[in-house]
Chains A and B, each alone.
Chain A
Amino acid sequence: METNLQILVDKNETFITAIKKNEGLIYKIAGIYTNDIEDRNDLVQEIIYQLWKSFDSFSQNSSLSTWMYRVAMNVAIYHLKITRRKVLTVPMEEKFLDFHETDNSNIEEKLQAFRQHLNNLNLLDKGIVILYLENKSYEEISEIVGISISNVGTKLSRIKEKLKTQISKKL
C-alpha cells in the first residue's frame, strides 16, 4: 500500500513532467495577457501555482493541455486587474525566462505586435483567437471556452471581419 508521502511524491513528479511538457503554452498565454517581462514572470508563477492547486481536480475527461489552457486563461484575466494595482510579489531566486536576454529577442516584438492587434478585441474574442492561433480545433476551443462548436465558427468569422476593419481603418 502506498504511503501518503509516496502519493505526494508521485503527484509532484507527474505535475512537473506535465508543466515541462507544456511550458511553452504557459509562456505564450502569459506573454499575450501581460505587457512587460516582470508581469509576465509573475503571471507564469501564478498560473503554475493555480495549476498545482487544482491539479487534484483535473479530470481525465479532457486532455492535459485543454485543462492547462483553461486554467491559464482564467488566471490571466484576473491577473490583469491585480498587476495594474502594482502589488507586491515574491521575486524568483533563479533567473527566469527572459526573452530579452536570449538570442530570440524578436519574440518580444512579435508578442507586442500581437497584443496591439488583439487589444481591440474583447476578452472572449481574444481567448478564441489565441486558441485558433494555437491550432486548436473548433471542438477543443469549444471545450476550453465553454461555448458551442457552431458558436466558435460564428465568432471566428466575426473576429476575422473585426480584424479586417481594424486594418482598413489604420490604412
Chain B
Amino acid sequence: MELDDLKNTWEDVNNQVKTQQNLTTKMINQMTQTKYYSSLKKIAYPEIIGAIICFIGAAFIATNFSKLDTTFLKCAGIISILLLLTLPVISLISLRQFNMPGDVNKPHAETLKKFAIQKIRFHKFQRINITLSYILLVTIIILFSKLFGRNSISDSKYFWTFSFSLGYIFLLFFSKWVSKNYNNALRQAEELLKELES
C-alpha cells in the first residue's frame, strides 16, 4: 500500500468519523474542568512506591548500622544507603523530563525537538539507574546475609565464586536487554533530533 492508497482508505475513515459527532456541550464542559484532567497523571505511582521502599530500606540499614562490624560491611552499608537514596531521586528526575511543555501552541517540529532532547536525557538517566541498581544488588546481598543470617556470607568461600559468576551472567543478559531496548529508543530519538536540526 502506497501513500496515495492510504489516502483513499483514510477518506473512508473520514466519512465514517463524520457520522459520529458524539461530543455534547456537557461533555466538553466536563473535559475542560480540571476535575476531568487528573493531576494524578503527572504522578508516577510506581516511582513513588519504589522511592518509599528505597527510603525504608535506607532507614533500616542506617538503624542496624552498628551490626556491621567490619570495614567491608560498613562500606557496603554506606554504599547501599547512598544508592537507596540516590536511585529514586534519579528516577523521579528522569520522569520529570517528560512533562508536557507549557506552550502546546508551538509548531510541531519545535515540540518534537524538545521531546527528542527530553527522551535522550531520559534514556541516559535510565542507563545510569540500571548500572547503579546492579551495584545495589551486590551490596544488598552482602548486607542481607549479615543482617538476617547467622554468619556473614562474605566469609563463605563459595560466596565470591558464585555471586560474581552468577552476577556476571546476569549482568551480561541484562545489559544485552538494556542495549536492545534503550539503545534503539535512544538511536531513534537522536536520529529524529538530527533530522529536525538539519
Contacts and interface: CB of A to CB of B under 8 A. Distances in A.
B3 A159 contact: yes
14 contacts: A28-B14, A49-B32, A50-B104, A58-B105, A73-B111, A77-B112, A78-B100, A92-B31, A102-B20, A117-B6, A122-B192, A132-B3, A133-B7, A146-B106
Interface residues of B, number: 56
Contacts, number: 175
Given A54-B103, A78-B98, A144-B107, A92 B32 contact: no
Nearest to A130: B10
A90 B39 CA distance: 9
A92 B41 contact: no
Contacts of A88: 38, 40-41, 45
Interface stretch (B22-30, B68-76, B129-137, B157-165): B22-30
Contacts of A124: 108-109, 112, 192, 195-196
A73 B109 CA distance: 10
Candidate in A75, A99, A104 with the most chain B CB atoms within 10 angstroms: A104
Given A23-B21, A74-B106, A124-B112, A28 B36 contact: no
Contacts of B169: none
A133 B6 CA distance: 8
Interface in A118-140: 122-124, 127, 129, 132-134
Interface string A59-89: 0000000010011011101100110010111
A111 interface: yes
Contacts of B101: 74, 78
Given A16-B29, A24-B18, 4 more contacts: A53-B104, A87-B40, A88-B40, A107-B16
For chain B, what secondary structure do more than half of its interface residues adopt (helix, strand, loop), or is it mixed? helix
A75 B104 contact: yes
Contacts of A146: 106-110
Contacts of B192: 122-124
A13 to B, nearest CB: 9
B109 A90 contact: no
Contacts of B111: 73-74, 77
A104 B16 CA distance: 7
Candidate in B9, B98, B100 with the most chain A CB atoms within 10 angstroms: B100
A82 B41 contact: yes
Interface residues of A, number: 69
A1 to B, nearest CB: 26
B44 A87 contact: yes
Contacts of B173: none
A149 to B, nearest CB: 13
A12 B20 CA distance: 23
A127 to B, nearest CB: 5
Contacts of A77: 111-112, 115
A57 B14 CA distance: 29
A169 to B, nearest CB: 13
Given A78-B98, A146-B108, A110 B9 contact: yes
B37 A94 contact: no
